[in-house]
Chains A and B, each alone.
Chain A
Amino acid sequence: MDYKAVPSVCPYCGCGCGLYLEVMDGHLVGTLPSPTHPIGRGSLCIKGWSAHEFVEREARLARPLWKRGANLEPTDWDTALYFVAERLKAIRDRYGPRSIAFLSSAKCTNEENYVFMKFARSVVGTNNIDHCARLCHAPTVAGLAYAFGSGAMTNSVPELDEASCILVIGSNTTENHPMIASRIINARERGAYIIVVDPRRIHLANYADLYIQPRLGTDVALVNGMMNVIIQEGWHDREFIRSRTENFEALRARVAEYTPERVREITGVEPGLLRIAARTYALSPNSSIVYAMGITEHVTGTDNVLTLANLAMLCGQVGKRGSGINPLRGQNNVQGACDMGGLPDVYTGYQRVDDPAARAKFEEAWGALLPEEPGLTVVEMIDAAAEGEIRAMYIMGENPMLSDPDINHVREALANLDLLVVQDIFLNETAELATVVFPACSFAEKDGTFTATDRRVQRVHRAIDPVGHSRADWEIVCDLARIMGAGGFAYRGAEEIFEEITRLTPSYAGMSYRRLEENGYLQWPCPTEEHPGTEFLHREGFARGKGLFTPVTWKPPLEVADEEYPLYLTTGRVHFHYHTGTMTRRSPTLNREMSFGAVDLNPRDAERLGVEDHELVSVSSRRGEVKIRTRVTEMVPPGVVFIPFNFRESAANALTNPARDPVSKIPEFKVCAVKLEKVTTRR
C-alpha cells in the first residue's frame, strides 16, 4: 500500500490556504490542513476539508465530446483537436480574428492562463479575452489602479492581526473568506475595533463593535458622509495628504455636500453611528479596509472603490503594515488570472496592449504580430454573440450559464454561435451547449501555481494521475496551437511556462519554482532573484507616484423597486458552496450540508405576503423567473430578498440586471427589482 500527503493549495476561494491531499494507492482519500501555512495555520473551512471530494467523481469528463446532431458524443483527442483547429481557422479567415472570443479561468493555474492568453492573442490574433474577474473585481482593478497605480490588495492577510481598526464593508467574510474572518476575530481578540457595514446582518456583524446597515447601493453616500465628518472635525492626515496625494481640494468640495443629515436620507444610517465609524477609522493607529462584492457588483462599482481609496488616503491609512485597502478576491486564482493578462486590455503584469512598447516586447517574445485595440469584456462578448459579431467562443473553466447576469440572454447568445468550445472538468450548464467539450484536469492532477488574494504565489503539485483521458488545460491549448501551426508552444512542463512568464512580467521576474518551493510562497512585486517579495504595497510612495483623490457623486442603483417589482433582490454566495456549484455540489459533504438554494426573506415581508418558512414561491424580475423555497430570516432587512447564485434549479442570475458599470463593465449583480409570489398548487 502506498500513502502520501501532497502539499497543495485549496481550489476554492482566494484565501489561498495550504493543504495536503492524502493519496492512497493513487487515489485521493482525504484532505488535511497544513499546520505551518501562513494563512490556514492548521485550519481549513468545510470547503477546504472537502477539497478532494469532487476530483474523482464518476461524473468527471473522461473523454472529449463533440456534437453529433442534438447530442454530445464521445470522441478521441485527435478528432476533437483537429476539428476545433479547422473550425477556428475557418471562422478567423472568414470573419476575422475579432469574431472569436475567449474566456480564461480563475480556477486554472497561472501557467494555463498564460498559455491560453498567448494562444488567443498570438495564434488567433484577438484581444477578446476576459474572465469572471469582470464579474467580481473589475472595479477594483480599475479603481485602485487609477487611485494608486496598482489594483490589488495592499496588505497581506496575516497583517490583519496587527490592525487596530478594521472596516469590513460589503464582505460576508465568515461565509466567503473564512480564514480571513479568522484573522479579523484574532484582531478583535487583540483589541482591534471592528466596524461591519452591510445591508444584510451577516455573521460577522455579531462580532463587530459597530454594525451599520445601509440601504442597498448607497455606499458612495455613506463613505462620502464619513469623509465629510472627518474633514469637518479635522481628523484627516494633513501631512499624508500634502506629501503623498493630489487633487485633495476637489474631494473636499465634493464631500462637503454629504452632510450627515443628507447621508441619513440616502442610506438610512443615523449620524451618530456615522460619526463613530468616521472617528474610529480616522484616528486609529492602523486602520484597514476589507471589502468584496458588496462594493464592486454595482453599476457604480468603480465609484465605490474610488471612494474607499479616497477615505484611506484622507486618513493616511494606507502604505503601512496592517493598514490599507484590502479587496478580497473571490477565486483561488482570480488574482493570477488577472496577473496573467486574461483581460482584454493587458498582457501579463498589466502591461497594456495599446502601449506600443509593451506590444513590441510581446511580439518579439512570441514571434507574432499582435492586435492593438483592446478586446471585449465578458458581458460585451455575450451581447456580440447575440448580435452575430462573435461567431466562436472558447471557454476554459468557466460557467457563464450560471455566473453571468440574465442567463436567458446568455443561452440565446451561445446558441447563436457557429462554434462553442468548452474545456472543463464536468459537463456544466455551459458545456451542455457546446459544439466540442475538452475534458480537463483538476488542481489535484497537475503542477502549477495559484496567486492568492494577497498577491501570494504558491505551488500546486500533481497528486494523482489525470482522471480518465483528461489532460491539463495548458497541454490541450498547446496541442491546439501546434496543430494550427504556431511555434512557441512546445513546453516540457508547467515550470518552463512559468519561466517564460517571469521573463516577460516584471512583478514576477524574481520568482522561480525553486524559490517557491524553498520559501513556500512569494508575494508580488518580486522583481529580482534576491527580492524577498512584497508584504504590503505603497510603503514609500504609490505605484503611480502620488495617490489621486477622485471626487465621486452618489448615484442610485439602475433599477429601483416600483409597484410592479416592489422588492430589491441582492445576490451572493453561501458558505457551503462555491460559485456555480460545479465542484461543491458534487462533493458529498457539502451537498449533504446544503442541497438546494433558498430565498432569504424578512419575517415582516413573509407575513405581509402570506408566505411561510420553507414555502415554494416564485421570484421574478423583468428578465426571468425562478421557483425557490423561502428561508425566513432577520438577516435581510424588510424590502430586500437574497438569493445565492450557486444553484442551477433556482438560478439567481435568471433575474439579475446585466446593466454595467461604465468604467469596469461589471454588471449590477447586487441590486435589481423583483416580485415574490406564492405558488398556487393544483389540488
Chain B
Amino acid sequence: MEERREEQARERARSMLLSGEARAVLGLRGGRGQVLPYLFSRPEELGDLSLSGIYPLAKVALRLLEKWEGGRLAVVSRGCDERHFVELEKKNALDTRRVALIGVACTEEEARECGCSRPYPNQVDAGHPLADADFFDRRELEELLGMKVSERRRYWTEVLSRCIKCYGCRNSCPLCNCVDCRLEESRWVRVGEIPPEYPSFHLIRAFHLADKCVDCGACERACPMHIPIRRLHRLIGEEMKRLFDYRAGRDAGEKSPLLTDLEEGPFTTEGEDEVARFMEAVAREVGWVGL
C-alpha cells in the first residue's frame, strides 16, 4: 500500500521532469534511518523519493523560489502542504505559476497521529483520500473551555512559561514569513529573556496566524518544550469559524475576514467591533482577560 503510494508519487514526479512540466521536484529523500528535504532534478534519483515523515516543505520551497529561475518547481504535498500554498497564494507570498504540486493523501495512521481533519489535498496524485475522515479530537478544546478562566490562565501560564525562545514554532511554519518579525522587536517582546513574557510572545504569534493557520502541527513538532501550541491555534481557528465562518487554506479565492480596505470590513466602525470581539474571545480563552 505504502509502496504503491510512493510509486505513484515517483511516477508523477518522473513524468513531470520528463515532460518539462517541472524543472525539479522538492520532496523528502529517505535512507539510512533519516529523511531529509531533497531537490530531485534527475528522474533516475527518484527511487529515493520517500513519503515517510511529515515535513513542512513549503518553508523550503519559499527559500528555493527566492533564487529560482526558469521552469516550475514541483513540491510533494500532503493536504496541509497544499493548504500552506493556498494561504501563501492568498497573501501574494508566492507566484503559483512557478509551482506545481504532487498531491499525496495521508494514510489513516498518519492522519490519526496528526489529529488531522482533512488528511488529503484537493488534487491527489498518490494514495487514496480518506474522505469524511476527521481525526481532530475536539474534546481537548472543550475540556479547556470548560475550565474557569483562572484555571485557564494557570494552565496557559504554566505551559507557555516553559518556552526557551528557540523560535522553532516560527521557523518551521511556512506561513510565519513576515519580513520583519514582531517577535524579534524589543518593543513587543523583551529581548534576551527566557521565558519570553507571557503572553505577548505567544499571543502575538497566534494572532498573526489567526487567519492563516492551517493546523499542520509543524510548530508543535518543532517545540522542544512540548508546549501545546497547536491547541492555542485551534482555539483561534474554531473562533474564526464560529464568528466569521472562515477557514484558512480552503480556497485561494476566499478573502480573510481580518483584511480591510478601510471602507468595509474590520477597522471600519462597523467591522472593528467584530475583530475586537474575536480578539477578546481568544484572550478570554487563554485566560488573559475575564478574571
Which residues of A line the B interface, CB within 8 A? 1-5, 7, 18, 20, 22, 24-25, 29-30, 32-37, 40, 42-46, 48-49, 174-175, 178-179, 181-182, 185-186, 189, 203, 206-207, 517-520, 574-576, 589, 592-594
| Interface contacts beyond A593-B191, A594-B192: sample of 13 additional A-B pairs, CB < 8 Å, sorted by A | A3-B39, A18-B34, A22-B37, A22-B63, A33-B222, A36-B34, A43-B224, A44-B166, A45-B164, A49-B166, A178-B224, A206-B161, A592-B191
A selection of 13 A-B contacts at a CB cut-off of 8 Å is: A1-B69, A4-B39, A32-B37, A33-B172, A34-B34, A34-B36, A35-B53, A36-B34, A44-B166, A182-B226, A185-B225, A189-B226, A592-B191
Given A24-B63, A30-B63, A186-B226 in contact, is the A46-B53 Cβ separation under 8 Å? Answer: no
Main secondary structure of the interface of B (DSSP, over half): loop
CB neighbours (8 Å) of B64 from chain A are 1, 3, 24
A40 to B, closest residue via Cβ: B224
Describe A's contact surface by its main secondary structure: mixed
Q: Tell me the B170-229 residues at the A interface (CB within 8 Å).
A: 171-172, 184, 191-192, 194-195, 221-226
Tally of A-B Cβ pairs under 8 angstroms: 114
Chain B contacts for A44, CB-based, 8 A: 166, 168, 222, 224
Which residue of A is nearest B54, CB measured? A35
For B36, what are the chain A residues with a Cβ–Cβ distance below 8 Å? 5, 7, 20, 32, 34
* Interface-centre pick from B35, B55, B164 (highest chain A CB count, 10 A): B164
A42 and B164 form a contact (CB under 8 A): no
Cβ-defined partner of A175 (8 Å) among B38, B53, B194: B194
A178 to B162, CA, bound (A): 11
B68 at the interface (CB under 8 A from A): yes
Determine the chain B residues whose CB is within 8 A of the CB of A185 once the complex forms: 162, 225-226
List the A residue with the shortest CB-CB distance to B218: A42
A604 to chain B, nearest CB (A): 21
Find out whether the CB atom of B226 lies under 8 angstroms from the CB atom of A29: no
Q: Is B167 an interface residue (CB 8 A)?
A: yes
The contact string, 1 if C-beta is below 8 Å from chain A, for chain B 218-247, is 000111111000000000000000000000
**B107 smallest CB distance to A (angstroms):** 17
How far is B220's CA from A635's CA once the two chains are assembled, in angstroms? 29
Whether a CB of chain A sits under 8 angstroms from the CB of B67 is yes
Closest residue on chain B to residue A47 by CB atoms: B166
Cα–Cα, bound, A24→B37 (Å): 13
Give the docked Cα–Cα distance between A206 and B163 (Å). 12
Contact B164 A174 (CB under 8 A): yes
Q: Which residues of A contact B164 (CB under 8 A)?
A: 45-46, 174-175, 178, 181, 203, 575
Among A30, A32, A185, A575, find the residue whose CB has the most chain B CB atoms closer than 10 A: A32
| Nearest CB of chain A from residue B219's CB, rounded to whole Å | 11
Q: Which residue of B lies closest to A42 (CB)?
A: B221
Q: Across chains A and B, which 9 residue pairs bring their CB atoms closest together, nearest first?
A: A43-B224, A594-B192, A182-B224, A36-B34, A3-B39, A5-B36, A46-B166, A45-B166, A5-B37
CB distance from B279 to the nearest CB of A (A): 28
Residue contact A519 to B166, C-beta cutoff 8 Å: no
Bound Cα distance A29, B37 (Å):
14
Asked if B34 contacts A7 (CB within 8 A), the reply is: yes
Q: Which residues of B contact A181 (CB under 8 A)?
A: 164, 224-225
Q: Which residues of A contact B33 (CB under 8 A)?
A: 36, 518-520
